[in-house]
Amino acid sequence: DAGVIQSPRHEVTEMGQEVTLRCKPISGHNSLFWYRQTMMRGLELLIYFNNNVPIDDSGMPEDRFSAKMPNASFSTLKIQPSEPRDSAVYFCASSLRSSGANTGELFFGEGSRLTVL
Amino acid sequence: KNEVEQSPQNLTAQEGEFITINCSYSVGISALHWLQQHPGGGIVSLFMLSSGKKKHGRLIATINIQEKHSSLHITASHPRDSAVYICAVPYYGGATNKLIFGTGTLLAVQP
Q: C-alpha angle with apex A22: B91 to A2, nearest 5 degrees? A: 85
DSSP assigned state of B61: E
From chain A, the residues in CB contact with B97 under 8 A are: 101-103
- Distance between CA atoms of A11 and A25, rounded to whole angstroms? 20
Residue among A58, A101, A108 minimizing CB distance to B43: A108
Q: Is A101 in Cβ contact with B97 (below 8 Å)? A: yes
Per-residue confidence at A99, pLDDT binned at 50, 70, 90? low
Average pLDDT of the residues in B85-91: 88
- Residue A67: alpha-carbon gap to chain centroid: 8
Asked whether residue B91 carries a pLDDT value surpassing 60, the answer given is yes
Distance from CA of B39 to the nearest CA of A (A): 12
pLDDT at B103: 87
Residue among A43, A101, A111 minimizing CB distance to B90: A101
**3-state DSSP assignment of residue A84:** helix
Residue among B42, B44, B101 minimizing CB distance to A42: B101
DSSP letters for A36-49: EEETTTEEEEEEEE
Q: What is the pLDDT of residues A19-33, one digit of tens each?
A: 999 999 999 999 999
Average pLDDT of the residues in B35-47: 91
Per-residue confidence at B82, pLDDT binned at 50, 70, 90? very high
From chain A, the residues in CB contact with B41 under 8 A are: 110
Q: Is B104 in Cβ contact with A104 (below 8 Å)? A: no
From chain A, the residues in CB contact with B33 under 8 A are: 103, 105-106
pLDDT at B94: 47
SS3 letters across B11-58:
EEEECCCCEEEEEEECCCCCCEEEEEECCCCCEEEEEEECCEEEEECC
From chain B, the residues in CB contact with A55 under 8 A are: 96
Average pLDDT, rounded, for chain B: 90
